[in-house]
Amino acid sequence: MSGSLERFSINQMTVKQLSLPELADGCARLGIRNVGLWREPVQAHGLEATAKLVRDAGLTVTTLCRGGFFTAVDPRERAAALADNRRAIDEAAALGTDTLVLVSGGLPAGSKDLYGARERIADALSELGPYAERHGVRLAIEPLHPMYAADRCVVSTLAQALDLAERFPAHQVGVTVDTYHIWWDDTAPAQIARAGAGGRIHTFQLADWTTPLPEGVLTGRGQIGDGSIDMREWQDHVEAAGYTGAIEVELFNDVLWARDGQEVLAETARRFTEHTR
Amino acid sequence: MSGSLERFSINQMTVKQLSLPELADGCARLGIRNVGLWREPVQAHGLEATAKLVRDAGLTVTTLCRGGFFTAVDPRERAAALADNRRAIDEAAALGTDTLVLVSGGLPAGSKDLYGARERIADALSELGPYAERHGVRLAIEPLHPMYAADRCVVSTLAQALDLAERFPAHQVGVTVDTYHIWWDDTAPAQIARAGAGGRIHTFQLADWTTPLPEGVLTGRGQIGDGSIDMREWQDHVEAAGYTGAIEVELFNDVLWARDGQEVLAETARRFTEHTR
């Protein structure tokens, strides 16, 4: 059994070699209805111009990536991060998406205090949650694979993400379920059920796990079907938990980025239909 | 407050550029009483010759690394793995150590079934546990960091390791607590308490977490004090759980391997005293 493209969303980073107009053209040609966008290329194209482009193309923006980076200790850095996240919320609202993905941030230089860093994330969320709500945007804490705990994201599991999110209303703060980050975790299915019961699965993303990992481990997210992750298994988990939203494919992969973007877009759509229900 | 070298054990892999006699000489010079050995260099030096060398040097062998790789599906591969692990148990006994560290193995080629792989580990332990017991050797399942789940070890957390170990008597099967693999896990302190209560902390190893990770992520285990892990915090956890054994420093690090081995040995001993109690 294969999935249709109806729920497929192409995260812009998967085909970052494409400009936004090229991406919109490719989506129109392939029948792709949904895109996940990133702040930097949107800003480069212009926020209003991007909003008009996707509107005219009939595309739904499923998520904006990304806010976060809340773990600084320095008060000025913290204030700057909060201000930047308010801008990210504004941008999400302008693009018509209801979901801003958050990558929470790693340990400050020299720090070994994971617990303190996680508390500073909670502090930031308490300021941003109400702001996001007023703009019709939900914050989606993304637990990143534990290999990023030091330098990128001290939130490493769905359980940790939910421990943070549940301090706030679900329409303010939920989680991102991304197969790449959680596939190894035998407690993740129960945490997906917990997230679903609370209405906190704000987005569901796919990437496959391939080895060997590249230096720095950032650009090794594998094409769907190339690696160790059973995508249907995770789709079943989120759907059993009540998730009916878009399924975004977000790959960072040097090999894919070196290829023709339209070809990668078509391949990704095909792999999606082959590996989902 | 600083630790003494009394409980320090140098894992041979940390200074793999040293021959076994060079390692014994270095330990004598620095007052190091304990070593963790690896099968391949022991076999290269000769099992009986190594046993005599460490005995004559008055060194205690804290662990032998490593058995495991239990996840194959093919019956002949499985039989070969079991036979090899019986030899590893024999070698551990001949070296006078009571602990064989197990790296359980990754997913077989093409498989996406983590659960099945973990069950095959349990099957292997049920055969090897009684054999190890008869030889006075305890098996110590080492959960490896989740970034190794596909290609090296499907046991990624202390909880998973204990779920396996607890199917067997503690004097047959316990766990390895290694800071490098568990430092990101906020449930690990409770799992250490669980392991200690069951008498299952069979060895405690240190390595620090430094970034960026190298390609393949195998040789980036940081020198103690160079990274993000608070060693005293984890020492406190294992000691609160009743652990009084040796504390092994096991680093795989291309930069350290390129340096003079005696210098790295002395540095590692110094860092140990600086970063433990």
CB B124 within 8 A of CB B81: yes
> Residue B159's pLDDT is what?
98
Check pLDDT > 90 for residue A1: no
Is A215 in contact with B211 (Cβ distance < 8 A)?
A: no
Q: What is the mean pLDDT of residues A180-191?
A: 98
CB pairs under 8 A between A and B: 91
The Cα B247–Cα A48 span in angstroms is 59
Query: Percent of chain A at pLDDT above 90?
Result: 99
- Measure the CA angle with vertex A127, ends A125 and A133; round to 5°: 85
8 Å CB contact of A145 and B147: yes
B227: left (phi over 0), alpha (psi -120 to 50) or beta: beta
Orientation angle between helical segments B114-134 and B158-165, nearest 10 degrees: 50
Nearest-Cα distance to chain B for A37, in Å, is: 27
Find, in chain A, the residue whose alpha carbon is nearest to that of B214.
A215
Write a three-state SS string for chain B. Answer: CCCCCCCEEEEHHHHCCCCHHHHHHHHHHHCCCEEEEEHHHHHHHCHHHHHHHHHHCCCEEEEEEEEECCCCCCHHHHHHHHHHHHHHHHHHHHHCCCEEEEECECCCCCCCCHHHHHHHHHHHHHHHHHHHHHCCCEEEECCCCHHHCCCCECCCCHHHHHHHHCCCCCCCEEEEEEHHHHCCCCCHHHHHHHHHHCCCEEEEEECEECCCCCCCCCCEEECCCCCCCCHHHHHHHHHHCCCCCCEEECCCEHHHHCCCHHHHHHHHHHHHHHHCC
* Measured distance CA(A269)–CA(A21) in Å, rounded: 18
Chain B: closest CA distance from residue A115 (Å): 8
* Mean confidence (pLDDT) of chain A: 97
Cβ contacts of B157 on chain A, cutoff 8 Å = 185-186
Q: What is the pLDDT of residue A42?
A: 98
Chain A partners within 8 Å of B228 (Cβ): 107, 111-112, 149-150
Average pLDDT over residues B113-138: 97
Banded model confidence at residue A124, pLDDT cuts 50, 70, 90: very high
State the architecture of B8-275 in CATH terms. Alpha-Beta Barrel (3.20)
Residues of B in contact with A213 (CB under 8 A): 147, 213, 215-217
pLDDT value, residue B2: 65
Q: Give per-residue pLDDT as tens, B140-165.
A: 999 999 999 999 999 999 999 999 99
What is the Cα–Cα distance from B81 to B49, expressed in whole angstroms?
25
Q: Check B146 against A185: CB less than 8 A apart.
A: yes
Q: Cβ contact (<8 Å) for B211 and A151?
A: yes
Give the per-residue pLDDT at B4: 87
Q: Burial-class residue A233 by CB neighbours within 10 Å (0-12, 13-18, 19+).
A: middle
**pLDDT-based confidence at A4, cuts 50/70/90?**
confident
| Mean pLDDT of chain B, nearest integer | 97
Per-residue pLDDT tens over the stretch B167-194:
999 999 999 999 999 999 999 999 999 9
Contacting residues of B for A183, CB less than 8 Å apart: 114, 149
Contact B187 A211 (CB under 8 A): no
Report CB contact under 8 Å: A150, B214. no
Q: Please report how many Cα atoms fall inside a 13 Å half-sphere around the Cα of residue A14, on the Cβ side.
A: 28
Q: Under an 8 A CB cutoff, do B216 and A217 touch?
A: no
The token duo for A174 is 């939920």
Q: Is pLDDT at B206 greater than 80 in this prediction?
A: yes
Query: Which pLDDT score, from 0 to 100, does residue A84 have?
Result: 98
What's the gap in Å between the CA of A265 and the closest CA on chain B? 25
Question: What confidence tens digit (pLDDT) does each residue in B52-86 have?
Answer: 999 999 999 999 999 999 999 999 999 999 999 99
Token code pair at residue B151: 């290609």
The yes-or-no verdict on residue B1 having pLDDT over 60 is no
Report residue A21 as tokens.
């107009």
**What are the pLDDT digits (tens) for A19-42?**
999 999 999 999 999 999 999 999
Of A107, A159, A213, the CB nearest to B217: A213
CA-based nearest distance A110→chain B, Å: 7
**Cis amide prior to B232 (ω within 30 degrees):** no
Residue A85, helix vs strand vs coil: helix
Provide the residue type at A113 as one letter.
Answer: D
**Distance from C-alpha of A211 to C-alpha of A24, rounded to nearest angstrom:** 32
Complex ipTM, two decimals? 0.95
From A213, which residue of chain B is nearest by alpha-carbon distance? B216
A175: Cβ–Cβ under 8 A, 6 or more apart, which residues? A140, A141, A142, A143, A158, A161, A162, A165, A195, A200, A201, A202
Q: Which of A113, A147, A164 to mutate to test the interface with B (most CBs of B within 10 A)?
A: A147
In DSSP terms, which residues pair with A64 in a beta bridge? A37, A100
pLDDT at residue B231, as a whole number: 98
Neighboring chain B residues of A159 at a CB cutoff of 8 Å: 187
Residues of A in contact with B115 (CB under 8 A): 186
The first and second tokens of residue B19, run together, are 């021959």
The domain limits of chain A are 8-275
Question: Which residue type does B227 have?
Answer: G
Mutate to test the interface with B, among A71, A104, A111, A114 (most CBs of B within 10 A): A114
Pairing outcome for strands B208-209 and B221-222: antiparallel
Take residue B124 and report the two structure tokens written for it. 């292997």
pLDDT tens-place string over residues A62-108? 999 999 999 999 999 999 999 999 999 999 999 999 999 999 999 99
Q: Which of B112, B159, B212 sits opposite A216 (nearest CB)?
A: B212
Distance from CA of A94 to the nearest CA of B (A): 36
Contacts of B178 in chain A (CB under 8 A): none
- Nearest-Cα distance to chain A for B59, in Å, is 34
pLDDT of A56 strictly over 80: yes
pLDDT on residue A2: 65
In this prediction, residues A234-259 reach a mean pLDDT of: 98
Q: Do A211 and B160 touch (CB under 8 A)?
A: no
* Distance (Å, whole) CA A140 – CA A177: 9
- Does the pLDDT at position A184 exceed 90? yes
- Per cent of chain B over pLDDT 90 is 99
